[in-house]
Amino acid sequence: MSAEGIKIIAENRKARHDYFIEDKFEAGMALRGTEVKSLRRGRCNLRDSYARIHNGEVWVHNMHIGPYPFAYYNNHEPRRTRKLLMHKSEIKKLYGKVNEAGYSLIPVRVYFKKGKAKLLLALAKGKKKHDKRETIRRREEQRDLQRAMRKYK
C-alpha cells in the first residue's frame, strides 16, 4: 500500500507497446461481492480487454476476474461485461474522441483507492509495426547512452 492509499492489482503493460496513449481517465467499477473479494486476492487480468460506449454508458469487455474460490453457489462469470462509473461530461468527451478514426478505450490498470476498486482507462491510438520498432530503437539508444554516461562518472 502506497502513501496515497493506492494498491495496484493488475497492469496492462502491453498497452504502452501497442498504443500511443493520449489521455487517461479514472473510473469506478460496478462489481459483485465475489469479484471484489477476488480482486483483493489479486486475481485479475487485463490482457485483450477493451472498453466501449453503449447508450451513454461505458462498458469494459473481456476483463478476466478469476472466480472466488470460497464462494460455492453464488460465484461470478469471470469474463462478464462490467459497467464503468464515470461522469456524463467525461463520457461525452470520450464518445467524441472514440468516433474519430483510430482511437480506442484501453484499460491500463486496476487498483484499489481508499478501499474502492478503480480502473484507469486510456484513450489510445493504435501503433503501426514501424512505430513499435521506432519505440524499441529509441529505448535501446537511451539504455546505451545511460551505460556510456555511467562509465564517465
Write down the pLDDT at residue 108: 92
SS (H, E, C) 99-144: CCCCEEEEEEEEEEECCEEEEEEEEEEECCHHHHHHHHHHHHHHHH
Distance (Å, whole) CA 18 – CA 24: 16
Domain residue limits, the chain? 6-127
Write down the pLDDT at residue 18: 81
Q: Domain spanning 6-127 has what CATH number? A: 2.40.280.10
Task: Tell me which H or E stretch contains 32.
Answer: none
* pLDDT values of the chain reduced to their tens digit, one per residue, 153 residues: 555 778 889 888 888 878 888 889 999 999 888 888 888 888 888 888 889 999 989 999 999 988 888 877 888 888 889 999 999 999 988 888 888 777 889 999 999 998 899 999 998 888 787 878 888 888 889 998 888 888 886
Write down the pLDDT at residue 2: 55
Residue type, 41: R
